[in-house]
Amino acid sequence: MPKVTVAILLCLLLGCGKLNEITAPDDDSGGGPPPDPAATFTRVQSEIFTPSCAVLGCHDTIGRQSDLILSTGRSYSEIVNRPSVQMPSLRRVQPNDPNNSYLYRKLTGVGIVDERMPQFGPPLPADKLALVRDWIRRGAPND
Protein backbone atom coordinates (compact mmCIF):
# COMPACT_ATOMS: atom_id res chain seq x y z
CA MET A 1 0.00 0.00 0.00
CA PRO A 2 1.48 3.43 -0.92
CA LYS A 3 2.64 5.66 1.97
CA VAL A 4 0.12 8.36 1.04
CA THR A 5 -2.80 5.92 1.35
CA VAL A 6 -1.55 4.70 4.73
CA ALA A 7 -1.20 8.29 5.93
CA ILE A 8 -4.74 9.13 4.83
CA LEU A 9 -6.17 6.02 6.50
CA LEU A 10 -4.29 6.81 9.70
CA CYS A 11 -5.64 10.37 9.72
CA LEU A 12 -9.18 9.12 9.16
CA LEU A 13 -8.91 6.56 11.95
CA LEU A 14 -7.42 9.01 14.43
CA GLY A 15 -9.90 11.74 13.58
CA CYS A 16 -13.01 9.54 13.63
CA GLY A 17 -15.73 11.02 15.83
CA LYS A 18 -13.85 14.26 16.52
CA LEU A 19 -15.62 16.53 14.03
CA ASN A 20 -18.62 17.32 16.21
CA GLU A 21 -16.69 17.46 19.46
CA ILE A 22 -16.64 20.82 21.21
CA THR A 23 -13.13 21.72 22.18
CA ALA A 24 -12.78 23.54 25.46
CA PRO A 25 -11.38 27.08 25.23
CA ASP A 26 -8.32 25.97 27.16
CA ASP A 27 -7.19 23.09 29.29
CA ASP A 28 -8.34 23.81 32.83
CA SER A 29 -7.78 20.32 34.20
CA GLY A 30 -5.85 21.59 37.19
CA GLY A 31 -2.37 20.99 35.79
CA GLY A 32 -1.66 24.68 35.26
CA PRO A 33 -0.88 27.47 37.66
CA PRO A 34 -3.41 28.39 40.32
CA PRO A 35 -5.84 31.19 39.46
CA ASP A 36 -4.61 34.73 39.98
CA PRO A 37 -5.99 35.96 43.35
CA ALA A 38 -6.17 39.48 41.86
CA ALA A 39 -8.84 38.26 39.40
CA THR A 40 -11.88 39.78 41.10
CA PHE A 41 -15.41 40.49 39.98
CA THR A 42 -14.78 44.19 40.55
CA ARG A 43 -12.01 44.04 37.94
CA VAL A 44 -14.13 42.01 35.51
CA GLN A 45 -16.86 44.65 35.83
CA SER A 46 -14.62 47.69 35.49
CA GLU A 47 -12.18 46.34 32.88
CA ILE A 48 -14.53 44.29 30.68
CA PHE A 49 -18.27 44.62 31.30
CA THR A 50 -18.53 48.39 31.73
CA PRO A 51 -16.37 49.45 28.76
CA SER A 52 -17.17 46.60 26.35
CA CYS A 53 -20.53 45.03 27.22
CA ALA A 54 -22.84 47.38 29.14
CA VAL A 55 -22.80 49.88 26.28
CA LEU A 56 -25.85 51.41 24.60
CA GLY A 57 -27.80 48.80 22.66
CA CYS A 58 -25.89 45.78 23.93
CA HIS A 59 -26.13 44.52 27.53
CA ASP A 60 -27.44 47.75 29.03
CA THR A 61 -30.94 48.40 30.42
CA ILE A 62 -32.17 49.46 26.97
CA GLY A 63 -30.60 46.80 24.72
CA ARG A 64 -30.83 43.82 27.05
CA GLN A 65 -29.32 41.50 24.40
CA SER A 66 -30.04 37.86 25.32
CA ASP A 67 -32.05 39.27 28.23
CA LEU A 68 -28.76 40.16 29.95
CA ILE A 69 -27.80 43.41 31.68
CA LEU A 70 -24.11 43.79 32.55
CA SER A 71 -24.22 47.22 34.18
CA THR A 72 -22.69 47.85 37.60
CA GLY A 73 -24.95 46.63 40.38
CA ARG A 74 -26.89 44.19 38.17
CA SER A 75 -24.38 42.06 36.32
CA TYR A 76 -23.36 39.64 39.07
CA SER A 77 -26.90 38.49 39.79
CA GLU A 78 -27.57 38.19 36.04
CA ILE A 79 -24.67 35.84 35.29
CA VAL A 80 -23.55 33.65 38.20
CA ASN A 81 -25.46 30.35 38.34
CA ARG A 82 -28.01 31.65 35.82
CA PRO A 83 -28.85 29.57 32.71
CA SER A 84 -27.73 30.86 29.35
CA VAL A 85 -30.52 31.93 27.00
CA GLN A 86 -28.73 30.56 23.95
CA MET A 87 -27.64 27.25 25.52
CA PRO A 88 -29.84 26.62 28.60
CA SER A 89 -27.88 23.47 29.44
CA LEU A 90 -24.98 25.78 30.42
CA ARG A 91 -24.95 28.42 33.11
CA ARG A 92 -23.73 31.86 32.12
CA VAL A 93 -21.07 31.49 34.80
CA GLN A 94 -20.51 28.13 36.41
CA PRO A 95 -18.27 28.85 39.43
CA ASN A 96 -14.92 27.02 39.32
CA ASP A 97 -15.52 25.89 35.72
CA PRO A 98 -14.72 28.39 32.94
CA ASN A 99 -14.93 25.76 30.20
CA ASN A 100 -18.57 25.12 31.07
CA SER A 101 -19.42 28.80 31.60
CA TYR A 102 -21.23 30.20 28.59
CA LEU A 103 -19.90 33.70 29.25
CA TYR A 104 -16.30 32.50 28.96
CA ARG A 105 -17.15 30.53 25.83
CA LYS A 106 -18.76 33.62 24.26
CA LEU A 107 -15.63 35.63 24.96
CA THR A 108 -13.31 32.97 23.52
CA GLY A 109 -15.61 32.03 20.63
CA VAL A 110 -15.52 28.28 21.33
CA GLY A 111 -18.59 26.05 21.65
CA ILE A 112 -21.16 28.85 21.26
CA VAL A 113 -24.24 29.89 19.34
CA ASP A 114 -23.98 33.00 17.13
CA GLU A 115 -21.00 35.35 17.37
CA ARG A 116 -18.09 35.77 19.72
CA MET A 117 -18.36 38.72 22.11
CA PRO A 118 -17.89 41.62 22.16
CA GLN A 119 -19.92 41.67 18.97
CA PHE A 120 -19.00 45.11 17.66
CA GLY A 121 -15.41 45.25 18.83
CA PRO A 122 -12.20 43.31 18.59
CA PRO A 123 -11.86 40.08 20.58
CA LEU A 124 -10.66 40.58 24.12
CA PRO A 125 -6.89 40.35 24.53
CA ALA A 126 -5.37 37.34 26.28
CA ASP A 127 -4.91 39.17 29.60
CA LYS A 128 -8.63 40.05 29.79
CA LEU A 129 -9.64 36.48 28.92
CA ALA A 130 -7.29 35.28 31.67
CA LEU A 131 -8.94 37.70 34.10
CA VAL A 132 -12.40 36.23 33.42
CA ARG A 133 -11.10 32.67 33.43
CA ASP A 134 -9.25 33.11 36.72
CA TRP A 135 -12.19 34.87 38.39
CA ILE A 136 -14.41 31.91 37.45
CA ARG A 137 -11.71 29.43 38.56
CA ARG A 138 -11.62 31.20 41.94
CA GLY A 139 -15.30 30.31 42.34
CA ALA A 140 -16.75 33.52 40.81
CA PRO A 141 -16.92 35.38 44.13
CA ASN A 142 -18.73 38.72 44.33
CA ASP A 143 -15.67 40.63 45.51
Q: How sure is the predictor about 120, in pLDDT bands with cuts at 50, 70 and 90?
A: confident
pLDDT tens-digit readout, 23-39: 444 445 455 789 999 99
pLDDT tens-digit readout, 60-109: 999 889 999 999 999 999 999 999 999 999 999 999 999 999 999 999 99
Q: Which residues pair with 43 in a beta bridge?
A: none
**What number of CA atoms fall less than 13 Å from residue 32's CA on the CB side?**
10
Provide the H-helix boundaries in 16-61.
41-44
